[in-house]
Amino acid sequence: MTTEHASALNTDPATAASGAQSPGRDTAGVEARRRRTFAVISHPDAGKSTLTEALALHARVISEAGAVHGKAGRKSTVSDWMEMEKARGISVSSTALQFNYDDCVINLVDTPGHSDFSEDTYRVLTAVDAAVMLIDAGKGLEPQTLKLFQVCRHRGIPVVTVINKWDRPGRSPLELLDEIEERIGLIPTPLYWPVGIAGDFRGLLDRSDGGFVRFTRTSGGATVAPEEHLDADAAAAREGDVWESAVEESELLSETGADHDQEMYLAGQTSPVIFASAMLNFGVRQILETLVTYAPPPHARDGVDGTPRHVTDPFSAVVFKVQAGMDTAHRDRLAFMRVVSGTFERGMVVTHAQTGRPFATKYALTVFGRDRNTVDDAYPGDIVGLVNANALAPGHTLYSDPRIEFAPIPSFAPEHFAMISARSAGKYKQFRKAIDQLDTEGVVQVLRNNARGDASPVMAAVGPMQFEVVTARMQSEFGVETVVNNLGYTVARETDKASAPGLDRQRGVEVFTRSDGVVLALFSDKWRLQYIEKENPDLTLRPLVAASD
């Protein structure tokens, strides 16, 4: 697989055609074609952090595994920015790692692993062009993998599947493929087939040329695993029956049509599969090669009015994440944007579509964990952190003329609700400021009604750990101690002002206005909701986007 092959496969005719018009456009077009922007989606513990590290190791971004993420016993916890994250071994913040590989620039966008932060993950997935679905060979598809896969399908993001931890005993490879096909309806098309069962990982059969890529373990998997390339005869002589059974299984796959088809992959019907051990760095180069060769480069994105913004058009970007206090050394607020079109140059003054105001981009950074570097220019597919961008919120658009506004990112249906107030009334002002900021960042949704008043708004979340983030940040960033009381509601529906009085009269129901103006009715449980809907067919009650939609 070569990069030339990649460019040939991925050339966007619109990019190629309009690229000839001006040198700036040409640069954006050429740079866009080199970009691969993707996220790894997985259930917690499938090995996302380990794989991120292994990819960085292969691209020579780091010299030894353990430098980027790392958990107990490893080098540092760079991406874990909050005490709570450290304690739980989870990562809430989403940042991006950029590195060169071959002729390509890879942007690996980090996603929070825990399902309580699925709304954040959804936002991150609006910023990528491709995804790697990481599966633990011993466990197969797990609930969070399934949910995240549905989001990719919904957004038309093509998926490469990596079956990880092949170095330890697990399930049979054919059984794992069957599970992918049966449970998510995606046709798996392995590019490489494992030589050796799970637990006896010797190497990969490269299905494109029938050769054998043999790996050698390095101490602790801390450095890139050396590869030896053998032809089929040499592989048979070396590995005997183990090689023969890999060949047989690979032939079986070809007979059932499980070979890569670029169009079907881009259409989300098939998924190239690679077997790997992120821990031993086996198969990691193959993952990078696959992304470079087959994953789509950035392409045009439609504005809310349906006008496409081609990658060669003037600068535009979409904000997908806002985060403050990412570590104690930098208490500023960062808005992460993904460049959609044109060339971004630090210092340029762009327009914030939602307010129509100019926005100066003096401080622009790439951020990965605690590593921050100034960005002087960026191209479609790149992720840039803008410092102290207080007006920006997830889903917002920045552009240089002509005007463009991209579709907003939908809020998810919350399922957990809690009242929050400052422990001390004297802290009300800071409390108010803090809750507004956390609301804008999308950490939780904030609901209010007259009965409860402004001093005790209600937080609405997809997962309860979002509340912990709020209380931890209230304390550490704003110096406000809070009191949180869980409310007994579990279901929310969108309603309107006309229906509000009728709903408020019902038992087990309370009506609120969300800060974006949407009127929400909260119900104690779905049976209550069903009963009220049945008895009051005139009331407006619309479902919200669910986390699993």
Query: For residue 262, how many other CB atoms are within 10 A of its CB?
Result: 15
Residue 442 marked ligand-binding: no
Beta bridge partners of 394: none
Query: For residue 220, how many other CB atoms are within 10 A of its CB?
Result: 11
Residue 69 marked ligand-binding: no
Q: In what order do the strands lie in the sheet with 227-230?
A: 192-195, 203-206, 211-215, 227-230
Between 113 and 457, CB nearer to ligand G4P: 113
Residue 114 marked ligand-binding: yes
Q: Say how far apart CA 508 and CA 210 lie, in whole Å.
A: 65
What values do phi and psi take at 284, rounded to 5?
Answer: -75, -40
Q: By CB under 6 A, name the binding residues for ligand G4P.
A: 42, 44-50, 71-74, 113, 164-165, 167-168, 277-279
Provide the minimum distance between the beta carbon of 108 and ligand G4P in the complex, in angstroms, as a whole number: 13
Beta bridge partners of 382: none
Q: Any idea how long the chain is? A: 549
Provide the minimum distance between the beta carbon of 123 and ligand G4P in the complex, in angstroms, as a whole number: 19
Provide the minimum distance between the beta carbon of 274 and ligand G4P in the complex, in angstroms, as a whole number: 12
Between 142 and 327, CB nearer to ligand G4P: 142
Provide the minimum distance between the beta carbon of 73 and ligand G4P in the complex, in angstroms, as a whole number: 5
Between 50 and 351, CB nearer to ligand G4P: 50
Residue 111 marked ligand-binding: yes
Provide the minimum distance between the beta carbon of 62 and ligand G4P in the complex, in angstroms, as a whole number: 15
Cα 181–183–189 angle (5° rounding)? 20
Beta bridge partners of 364: 386
Between 277 and 397, CB nearer to ligand G4P: 277
Provide the minimum distance between the beta carbon of 194 and ligand G4P in the complex, in angstroms, as a whole number: 12
Between 217 and 370, CB nearer to ligand G4P: 217
Residue 27 marked ligand-binding: no
Q: In what order do the strands lie in the sheet with 35-42?
A: 96-101, 104-109, 35-42, 130-136, 159-164, 270-275, 187-190
Q: Which residues contact 309 (CB under 8 A, 6 or more apart)?
A: 300, 301, 302, 303, 316, 340, 341, 404, 406
Do strands 301-302 and 377-378 pair parallel, antiparallel, or not at all (unpaired)? unpaired
Between 144 and 351, CB nearer to ligand G4P: 144
Do residues 512 and 450 lie in contact, with contact meaning Cβ atoms separated by under 8 Å? no
Q: Known binding site for GTP: residues?
A: 110-114
